[in-house]
A and B are shown apart, each in its own frame.
Chain A
Amino acid sequence: MHWLQQLVNGLALGSIYALIALGYTMVYGVLRFINFAHSDVLMLGAYSAFYLAPRMEAVFGPQSAVGTLFIIIAAAAICAVIGILIELLAYRPLRNRPKLTVLITAIGVSLFIEFTCQHGAVFGADTKAFPKLLPSRELHFAGIEMASNDLLVLVLTAVLLFAMWFIVQRTKIGMAIRAVSFNEKAAALMGVNVNRVISFTFGLGSALAAVAGIFYAMRAPGIEPLMGVQPGVRAFIAAVLGGIGNLPGAALGGLLLGVLETVAGGIPGVSIYRDGIAFAILILILIFRPAGLLGRAVIEKV
């Protein structure tokens, strides 16, 4: 029963990692570089919700489901625009430069966002109390305790994962994304508007990051400008674990990492090394299975 409870805790955490990991892996799929600013878009998503919540509360009343849905959609839209702008301003001018240049620029963008937001005139560096978006209840089910918010996060993540699969596999823009990730030049020759596809990918990834940021803030309702760093690193590891560039891999990696971390945290004596475990996994994967669990060669990347 104890282990089942840990599994539930881990899945709830892991599903948030999975959502973030999707953004890393999609951008890698089309552009072959790690967008380090992704974790900061997650933070911006949480802050968007933080500032939207009082306005939505004025319209829909406190802790209403409709209001929360609006907050999530609006925050996702804001972050999608931010993601597209980041690509347009920082990465697009460097499209034909060596990948290392873009990678270092990504780190620069990440630091720029983090430290701008820490300035007193923007968000300030102190921890802010994230408002309660939904009434939370403790659910009891066959001896398992679960917060209603965690259950919601699990369900919504599953829905979003399915939506992602549908977009990538069953829609025209999804086909274009896959085409660009296979061969950018060939796709361009076939009439695919590569810039538009890349912008769309950034927008979609950033919207998911915003949703993940809100979920993360609902679990731990204290937000600060560096809140994205820790889950961002975890999600990056999850993406590598599952096979970078691979959508189902990112989801699997996220869930696995969440469960592993939670279980490790619950073992006395091992809980000290909880943070180290994620990095140990990264190193082992890079040594023994650089292509990740669902290796790139087997399943097509997007």
Chain B
Amino acid sequence: MRKSTFLKGTFTLAAIAFTLGAFTACNKGGSSTEIIVGEFASLTGKEATFGGSSHEGTQLAIEQLNAAGGVLGKKFKLITEDNQTKAGESATVVNKLISKDGAVAILGEVASSRSLEAAPICQSNGVPMISPSSTNPKVTETGNFIFRVCFIDPFQGTVMANFATKTLKAKKVAVFTDVKSDYSKGLAKYFKEGFTKAGGQIVSELDFNGGDKDFKGQLTTIKGANPDAVFVPGYYTDAALICIQAKEIGLNVPLFGGDGWESDTLTKLGKEAVEGNYFSTHYAPDVATDLSKKFVADYQKRYNGKLPDAMAALGYDSAMLLADAMKRAGSTDGAKVRDALAATKDFPAVAGNITINEKRDAVKSAVILKVDGGKFKFVETVNP
């Protein structure tokens, strides 16, 4: 009696599993008229403006592609999942995008830590992933299906090291790293290498945890070391609070960071405390090519006059490059799209032309911006 109930149960479970399997199979790859592209982004939480900008750029690209008839006679369907800026969430949503929604390619993320969560999943499923703006080298080292359309931190770190020596004329610099973020740790490392090579001296190295609200303990020690400038390779919320508290304890030297600073939240939180500080990023609306002028105009039309930032431009580029690779591959098959992506050469993009190197990274120039009157002012372009 008992055994037969058990058997019945097993059969029922098996039947359910098969039915579910059939449903998923139907879903995979989407209908014959659509190409399903998955996107994961930090639409809410601590780095919400990153995910928001990047998503707006990607969405604009998909809309323009569809308006032009899509590729391979099919239109794109973009499915976006929010990871709430939380660790662990990206793996969950990307698994869902691939296995449940049947995405044939994945776009995302801005933050390297979260791209690193998704990359192994895309790699093992043979789904190409393009990160718009994760700069840590480890992201594309995950495997041959992982690409990016931005420069990497060894380059960005060197750019900032040269900027500190040449433009800021700094000889002694303190480095204040977010130990929770792969991006911050990587950028700090390459900055230190570049700066000591250029003859500078790192006088103090301290750490914080992303999301901290009190930095005065560390900043007091940094002040005690008398630096000419402080490098803070963190994200904008933390960077703004650090600038405020630095002023409060009388640390009145320039603070500078990487592309993680670029958000209007930096100036909203930091107000006058962030004025006169610098950061490097991928693109400035001031540096105009015909393509970028058109992008800025389209973006402002689509999003009520909002000026696109680097994350928006790179989000746009990531979707455009994917569509181009599918066109060149003549297919949406993962392996074929991968090969096409790897062969990308001089693809015209908003934030600078993209050539994918053997490490699946884009080789591009960087720009340096200064916070001036609550706005980001273009200072200089640095070529690789």
A-side interface residues toward B, CB under 8 Å?
A: 2, 5-6, 9-10, 12-13, 118, 120, 124-127, 129, 132, 136, 138, 140, 145, 147, 149-150, 216, 219-222, 224, 227, 230-231, 261-268, 271-272, 274-275
The interface stretch among B156-164, B247-255, B292-300, B348-356 is B247-255
Chain A contacts for B45, CB-based, 8 A:
125-126, 224
Asked if B66 lies at the interface with its beta carbon under 8 angstroms from chain A, I say no
Asked whether A222 lies within 8 Å of B241 as measured between CB atoms, the reply is: yes
- Among B206-220, those with CB < 8 Å from A are 206-209, 211-218, 220
B221 at the interface (CB under 8 A from A): yes
Q: Is B204 an interface residue (CB 8 A)?
A: yes
A118 contacts across to B, CB distance below 8 A: 44
Known: A222-B240, A271-B206. A145 touches B249 (CB 8 A): yes
Q: Which bracket fits the contact residues of B?
A: 35 or more
Q: How far is the CA of A231 from the CA of B215 in the complex (A)?
A: 14
Q: CB within 8 A of A220: which of B206, B207, B213, B265? A: B213
The one of B217, B237, B244, B248 in contact with A271, judged by C-beta atoms closer than 8 angstroms, is B217
Q: Which residue of B lies closest to A1 (CB)?
A: B224
Cross-chain contact A5 with B220 (CB below 8 angstroms): yes
Contacting pair A263 B217 (CB below 8 A)? yes
With contacts A125-B44, A127-B237, A222-B241 taken as known, whether A230 is within 8 angstroms of B213 at the C-beta atoms is yes
Q: Knowing that A265-B206, A268-B205, A271-B208 are A-B contacts, what are 6 other residue pairs whose CB atoms are under 8 Å apart, sorted by A's residue number?
A: A12-B216, A138-B249, A220-B245, A266-B220, A267-B221, A271-B217
Could you tell me if B217 and A221 are in contact, using CB atoms closer than 8 angstroms? no
Instruction: Give Cα distance in the complex from A239 to B261, angstroms.
Output: 37
Closest to A224 in B: B46
Chain A residues with CB under 8 Å of B214's CB are 13, 219-220, 261-262, 265
12 A-B pairs in the complex with CB atoms less than 8 angstroms apart: A5-B220, A9-B220, A219-B214, A219-B245, A220-B213, A224-B45, A224-B46, A265-B215, A266-B217, A271-B217, A274-B208, A274-B217
Nearest B residue (CB) for A264: B217
The residue of chain B having its C-beta at the shortest distance from the C-beta of A132 within the complex is: B271
**In the complex, are the beta carbons of A145 and B248 less than 8 A apart?**
yes
B269 within 8 A of A: yes
Chain B residues with CB under 8 Å of A150's CB are: 248
Cα separation A263 to B205 with both chains bound (whole Å): 15
Q: How far apart sit A103 and B207, CA to CA, in the bound complex (Å)?
A: 35
Cα distance, A154 to B321, chains bound together (Å): 56
Q: Are B216 and A13 in contact (CB under 8 A)?
A: yes
Docked pose: A196 CA to B125 CA in angstroms = 61
Q: How far apart sit A140 and B249, CA to CA, in the bound complex (Å)? A: 9
A271 to chain B minimum Cβ distance, whole angstroms, is 5
What is the CB-to-nearest-CB distance from B28 to chain A, in angstroms, rounded to a whole number? 32
Whether the pair B217, A262 counts as a contact (CB closer than 8 A) is yes
Task: Please give, as numbers and ranges, the residues of chain B lying within 8 Å of A140 by CB-CB distance.
Answer: 250
- Indicate if the CB atoms of A266 and B213 lie closer than 8 Å: no
Nearest Cβ on chain B to A24's Cβ, whole angstroms: 19
Q: Is the CB of A266 within 8 A of B221?
A: yes
Complex-state Cα separation, A300 to B159, whole angstroms: 62
A241 to B148, alpha carbons, bound, how many Å?
49
Cα A11 to Cα B213 in complex, Å, equals: 15
Question: Which of B216, B247, B269 has the most chain A CB atoms inside 10 A of its CB?
Answer: B216
B residues within 8 A CB of A120? 44
Q: Are B217 and A129 in contact (CB under 8 A)?
A: no
Using CB atoms, name the residue of chain A closest to B236.
A127
Top-3 shortest CB links A-B: A265-B217, A262-B217, A220-B213
Residues of chain A within 8 A of B268, CB atoms compared? 129
Given known A127-B265, A266-B221, A272-B179, contact A9–B213 (CB-CB < 8 A) = no
Cβ-defined contact, A147 with B248, below 8 A: yes
Q: Which A residues are in CB contact (< 8 Å) with B382?
A: none
Closest to A227 in B: B213
**CB atoms of B44 and A124 under 8 A apart:** yes
**CA–CA, A230 and B249, complex, Å:** 23
Chain A's closest residue to B82 (CB) is: A125
